[in-house]
Structure 1
Amino acid sequence: MMAVWEGDRIRPGVVIVPGLTQTKDLKFVVEVAELLARNGWNVLTIDLRGHGDSRRLSAAMITGGWKETDDILGAVRHLREKTSSSSVAVVGFSMGGRSLVKAMAQDEGRLIAAGIAVTAPLAAGPPLAPPDPGVAPTPLGKFFLEFLGAPSFYEYYSRAAASYGVDLRTMEAQMPADASIARVKKPLLMLYALDDFQSLLQLKLGRHDGGIFSLAYRDTVRDNPHVRTLLVDRGNHAGMLYLSDPHWFALTMLTYLKHWQARDVDHVTAAAPPLDVLAEGQLEAHTARYQVVVRNHGPRAAGVVDVHIRIPPGARLEHCWAGFEGLGRCATDGTRLSWTLPRLTGGKTSAGPFVAVVDVSRMKKGPFATTVWVTTVERSLSLLEKDTVTIPQHVTLERR
């Protein structure tokens, strides 16, 4: 996905790179891209080789950060050529962050203006070996193997290495980024959380240095003025670090990139909405049930706050409530359902759930989308989607 500003103003660009098993259409990737675009950046989100659209269009296999370096550098060139961006930064999550570090080391400061690597596993793992029939893979390992479509990591990466004309050990040597990070010559922020479940799993497996998530790389960059590490108490792994506190993550990301890419450019900003929305939907026989929670991550209270759901054409509202069934009915205006909160306290306060059950039995079979958004009287008296103070959420269900 690419979002490009029109007009003759020069703007910076950002490439967003998801991690292993992740694609550019995930909620956190879409929202991070929209935040950057709203603040004045040209944005390109990509699927690394072996993922999403890239997997459908190419047989290129995953290499754990080695060849993914080429994917990132190619995306940076593409964004710069198509948009005439003044500079291009990269935000990479998990394996996307590892690949970013390797790309910045290889680039030597020519293409990538700045980078943010979120919970990136830089270190080498244990050498891959044929699986022991008596040892079952961990639940996380099973998840990855299902995604790869392989009986073992050894089998998959052996085939991957052969497809690139090298043996497995040669490819394994190219995967880590803990040594190459010393060659980074542009600003790079390494972002980690102490409660990262993947890092904690390494400890449970007996890798007491953190395994692939070891932070020992900091010794190699102690004298490198370009690399900084930010370690936070909580936030978990990859996109969950954003989802746990979108306001903090957005301000950190936007402030860092504006400083290095557009410090004195007024039309590039670093503003993040303190309110955000969590929305989900579930299809139950002939009805669709939607649940919404609103969070205020900012320090100040917000009010008056209106929470809205736009139900699909052809759907009919059966009932709606806030908190407990039967309480806090919604107001209706055509296909828009709304609840009003006189005040939502700041400091990571939540309100909800706001629930709507709609009859979809008369709708055609196939996918249908619902939009969720929030408006405030402080911002505008309008209740329409275009005046939302949050990034709108889109929930898609499908009648079969």
Structure 2
Amino acid sequence: MPLFDRILIVDWSGAGQPVTGKNSLWACLARREGDGHAMEWIENFPTRHAFMQRLDAVVGATVAEGERLLCGFDFAFGYPAGTAERLTGSEDWRALWRKIADEIEDAPDNRNNRFDLASRWNARHFPGEPRFWGRPHQHVYADLSDKKPPASTNAPLAFRRSEQFAKGAKSVWQLTYNGSVGSQTLLGIARLSRFLDDSGHGEHIVVWPFETGFATTFEKPVVFAEIYPSLFTLAAQDEVKDQAQVRTVAEAFARFDADGRLAALLDRPPMLSDEEVATALAEEGWVLGIGHRELDVAGDDTPLWPAGLLPHKGGERISVAAEIPLAVPGKRKTPGAQSSAVAAVPDAAARHTPLSPLVGEMSRSDRGGYSP
């Protein structure tokens, strides 16, 4: 039986002003209809504030209708081990989330203080060994360089354990330039932390795997999880790449949920030691799907390849047909959805979506770079 009635996939943005199109915030909501899923909407949000209003509506409708929702966000949910203790005095992901939320300023028009904050934290928490780096060349910050600092041999290190399995992944300490995810992480964690504390929906939400362990069943109806869209290769489409990513991932997770594979992706990655699991659950988090090299479920041998274990050119390359109906009579709309902003989705049943790029084809900018 499927775990979720709705799947919301979000391509986050670290933009400093309202922006649409390439390298902006896109989201896609898929909804279970009978034995399949339908795309309810794909939308481009000019600001993080606008998206959070929609998230409030989607979560509220899910809870009110007694349904279950998976929300996948493409920014890091954690920092390398040792960060939380250095910044908060406690090895606790939630303490770090609240610390970030307390100090990040993110206005409704996307203006924010992420570079100022990174500079202050380098001086206060990492004196002599800065971690955060990357800034707009036209701005100068006392303790934030535009150059990558020497790698530290002391915790926290540059990468989390999960990122060691994601070829092409960037460090959360890098705030700008192509492929960076540091700005998105600071701004995304701040927004989700405030949502958990202030929206009135917090009692209905769990954050995977911090609050759930590597579980496949959940007591609460809404699950937030970190995703990495570059696990999925995009079929050639005449659309913005970010739009294609949210659609592709939503379709794939909907299919996996229908045939039982999504539960396997939520399970404990087999290569992790007990100590590594403890670190992931306490502070670093994990990326949904990484570590499950091959899933043989329901008679279908379609594997999900983690980015660090990609098939090579000339070798096997598996694809999955997206079997998601589009036109559903009487389909309900999520409160707050704008019909004028709903994107037309091509015939999903005719589209084959490879699950991962080949080695050497990993996107270097899947999470977006700096937007002033």
Q: TM-score, normalised by structure 1?
A: 0.26
Query: TM-score, normalising length from structure 2?
Result: 0.27
Which protein is bigger by CA-based radius of gyration? 1
Q: Higher relative contact order by CA 8 Å / sep ≥ 6: 1 or 2? A: 2
